[in-house]
Chain A
């Protein structure tokens, strides 16, 4: 059977300690990684996508597991599990898209281990990459790990692995930001600015920075939803994620945001959603946004089902998501 590669596990109790442990491992020349729930990292380690010498455990950091609500912001420890977040009644009402996203990640059992921070940092996916070492050796390895070409787009110089986070599109649509704590101090970054157009270096978070908390603003009257397309009602990563948020004033749209997941190396903000602002959300206007969204989707042949179908159903999925918010 597949075995994990050998590694040293160093659990931390505080954010500061975690950053220090990471730093001291790096200083002694060992590759280190943070691990919380491990639901993404450990299977990948078994398949040798990662072989860190040191894992810094952040699951027991109490300050990263708390969920606090102020009147203006919900502050979610990045170590809160998806299960924990999915069962917050206030979040369900005010930040519906986030709760719906958490509920649809993997399986209920995995949701009890997997954390919000982990889902935001989840590795990009590609069915040329998420394979065992032996399989990848047979096909000749890819640019993301051990090889030098992209097998899905051999003419491309960059990696096309797919952003597969469910919570990232939801949090972008909700205007959230994250706090990154590194050896040089901490900084806040909007989730919308957290990702890069590169399947390998897909985040602006530096490896030694710990994503410690997520801050989601409260916006009066905001309604949001997250729709996930996948083959089965459980287990599967998204082949399309649609996060939409709309605020109405009377019968007109006062604010709108729309974000697609799993159609690119990073979540894709559909800016055309703002065209709705100031207007009644008529069927024609929603359809126009839906069609614009479909133009933004650039799936490739590296995930489940055909890329044509995955693109083709973007518009209908977006239209239905928007309809559910204005109906």
Chain B
């Protein structure tokens, strides 16, 4: 995008991992011809942060920098060459502070003045941001009484989204005193809110337009769900210069600003009975947060929240800890905080199956949660197609006859997962809807749907159009969409937490139903039949019994004549799902998706190079509203998972990100992509729109453990640490050959003094949910052709 008279902006980022800013002098930069403005932290002195509990960032840091890449100044000039020259003229004097570059280093005691932040779990030594200790039932007694007890440690390295596009923000403060910001954001509403706070402008004078985001590899969480420094800076510079200002981040800056996946170290202990039934689960996670809070408090809870929604777990303890480190801040990436514990749990279950000589697939089937039941930590499970997923993947992959039967070096493994269809609670506490859709029909029958949802490549625009079209009985291409604009569209919280299809879909359905009622009433009146007996489909309104009909276009003016402008608003707010304990707000969702994956791998035992040969994945998406896009999301999840398994790692050396570039941060190309067989399972959720649940994040979760389990089947070694690189495989094989423990992974977790637990008596455990949360059970499918009341499988194979 370009606007007349537009200026360009560039950020000056910290060159030190942790330091106090003693002096910052911009005078030489300001004097450079072509430079229109230079600002530093004191020009934007309001803190913000995506979570109200950790508003710990300035757009430009004022006194202190916390990682290499922390923005401290910004220049606006007539072109980027001048910006670059100006950046070199800004003088900064630093006073270096001790750094913490790992979880262990962050747990070391530090002087008060040397802490990375002056808030967090200050009672703990070091740089602890958050500690959580939740206990549901008597876990210790359950594990002690168990005939089999298994303990394990796992590590999941941090990685980043690597969206192909470079993020840009263009701000224009017009002569009318109104600021317009175009940005590649996933959350225009939160950006709008943060802008108002930081720029001290009323929301009425700020308009945020989320531009169509391409190249995200259909990745729902592309790390653009926080407000970012360059957005505030472009806005402030435009207000000062009264000209449009555009800032395009460099690839390196995207590595720094992006809120990648948290590195998580985990400890798991389970007690099981002779059949493998879980009696107690004890779980610890150590979360490396990077330099700022971001979504981290939620991420920490998420590493403990969803272990319970797949298998029956009657007693459970979760201890989680997030530290601040002098690295780029971490946040949500596909699966937000849940792929890490899922990796640990699903390998752990494989070990239990091995120890008890059970088939891992049948074993999982024997311990599944029941549909419509409450978990020990008060998560409400509604529709659950996991059993169908397991069966479908088992059949498609021929799992039973391949496991332990393939030649040495080849193996098959499997894993499961589950994810939210939208978080049950909004990011800031309020009672308002999470989403609203406005509809308006013109006199020619043209329908306009408005919603702040932002299509980030996942296809939410198509869901909006198809949902409205389905209800009104017209075609999706007859719907005009106005989206992702804080001026013209009603609130939707944004494209994160896999919430859009479920929540916006329900709002769109409700809005369309309101108008359908009015249109059918008008048509019934004209045709002299009862409106309840009319059906709307294919652009027609039909009375089946008499054959009387009229077109949708004919009915619309009749309806407007009877009751005025055809417009309506639908909205959606989840039921109150959270349990009666502190910390219960993270994890509840109106519905969970379920997935199962099997992976077949080939291990080159001389080089340690592992080649995935085929992935089978079944995903319970409730209902596939747009099956092609669902399949795309599932395959994209597999792709992203394979990157995290084999290649991607955000590692640091000498206080810096080791390789903030697309060449050296290794992400798979399509040559690395094996054939994927995708199976869609439709469990027709009672509360999802037409039964739909999420599909954009959940399918990533089962893949990493499936691959790790397949490597064990192939060569008998356990890699309990991602990424699984060839050197680790070779090391595992060497250890096995030397008769040592044939495993590569962490051998210790920090010895931490945990806070006293919040003890919760899980009286609701395994009970029907209605007694605790209002629940709508699955109803018959509305469109024809679906299996009544039971999940429906559709088998698709990638080309």
A-to-B contact residues, CB < 8 Å: 1-3, 6, 127, 130-132, 134-135, 137-139, 151, 231-236, 304-306, 308-309, 312-313, 316-317
Contact = CB atoms under 8 A, between A and B. Distances in A.
B656 A139 contact: yes
Given A135-B68, A235-B663, 9 more contacts: A1-B80, A3-B84, A134-B15, A138-B14, A138-B655, A231-B647, A236-B666, A306-B725, A309-B608
A232 B607 contact: no
A127 B16 contact: no
A235 B80 contact: no
B664 A127 contact: yes
Nearest to B663: A235
Interface in B749-776: none
A135 B81 CA distance: 18
Interface in B499-524: none
Interface in B148-198: 166
B13 A134 contact: yes
Contacts of A233: 669, 671-672
Given A127-B659, A130-B664, A131-B661, A232 B654 contact: no
30 contacts: A1-B80, A2-B250, A2-B251, A127-B658, A130-B663, A130-B664, A131-B661, A132-B250, A132-B252, A134-B15, A138-B15, A138-B68, A139-B655, A139-B656, A151-B654, A231-B666, A232-B666, A232-B669, A232-B671, A236-B663, A304-B666, A305-B727, A309-B608, A309-B725, A309-B726, A312-B727, A312-B730, A313-B726, A313-B730, A317-B607
B607 A316 contact: yes
B745 interface: no
**The 5 residue pairs across chains A and B that have the minimum distance between CB atoms:** A233-B671, A309-B727, A138-B15, A316-B606, A306-B727
B668 interface: yes
Interface in B296-320: none
Contact of B248 (A1, A132, A305): A1
B660 interface: yes
A231 B249 CA distance: 27
Interface in B311-343: none
Contacts of B669: 232-235
B252 A134 contact: yes
Contacts of A138: 14-16, 68, 655-656
A231 B662 CA distance: 13
A232 B727 contact: no
A3 B166 CA distance: 14
B668 A309 contact: no
B93 to A, nearest CB: 15
The dominant DSSP class at the A interface is loop
Interface in B475-490: none
A3 B658 contact: no
A312 B734 CA distance: 12
Contacts of A231: 647, 666
A151 B671 CA distance: 34
A314 B376 CA distance: 53
Nearest to B607: A313
A135 B656 contact: yes
A98 to B, nearest CB: 22
Contacts, number: 80
Nearest to B668: A232
A130 B660 CA distance: 10
Interface string B234-260: 000000000000001111100000000
A2 B84 CA distance: 9
Contacts of B84: 3
A134 B12 CA distance: 9
Interface of B: 13-16, 68, 80-81, 84, 166, 248-252, 606-608, 647, 654-656, 658-661, 663-664, 666, 668-669, 671-672, 725-727, 730
A138 B99 CA distance: 15
Given A138-B15, A138-B16, A304 B664 contact: yes
Contacts of B647: 231-232
A139 B84 CA distance: 19
B73 to A, nearest CB: 13
Nearest to A43: B663
A317 B609 CA distance: 12
B81 A6 contact: yes
B591 to A, nearest CB: 37
A6 B252 CA distance: 21
Contacts of B672: 232-233
A104 B655 CA distance: 34
A3 B607 contact: no
Contacts of B727: 305-306, 308-309, 312
Given A231-B647, A305-B725, A139 B664 contact: no
A236 B647 CA distance: 13
Contacts of B725: 305-306, 309
Contacts of B668: 232
A142 to B, nearest CB: 11
A309 B16 CA distance: 31
A139 B252 contact: no
Contact of A3 (B81, B666, B730): B81
Contacts of A234: 669, 671
Nearest to B15: A138
A137 B671 contact: no
A234 to B, nearest CB: 5
Contacts of B166: 1
Contacts of A137: 15
Contacts of A235: 663, 669
Nearest to B660: A135
Nearest to A229: B607
Contacts of A139: 654-656
Nearest to B734: A312
A216 to B, nearest CB: 29
Nearest to B166: A1
Contacts of B655: 138-139
User: Which of A139, A304, A305, A309 has its CB near the most chain B CB atoms (within 10 A)?
Assistant: A309
A253 to B, nearest CB: 24
A317 B672 CA distance: 20
A269 B80 CA distance: 46
A257 B656 CA distance: 41
Contacts of B671: 232-234
A134 B80 CA distance: 15
Contacts of B252: 132, 134-135
User: Which of A1, A134, A309 has its CB near the most chain B CB atoms (within 10 A)?
Assistant: A134
B670 to A, nearest CB: 9
Contacts of B663: 130, 235-236
A46 B205 CA distance: 39
A166 to B, nearest CB: 15
Contacts of B666: 231-232, 236, 304
Nearest to B662: A235
Contacts of B656: 135, 138-139
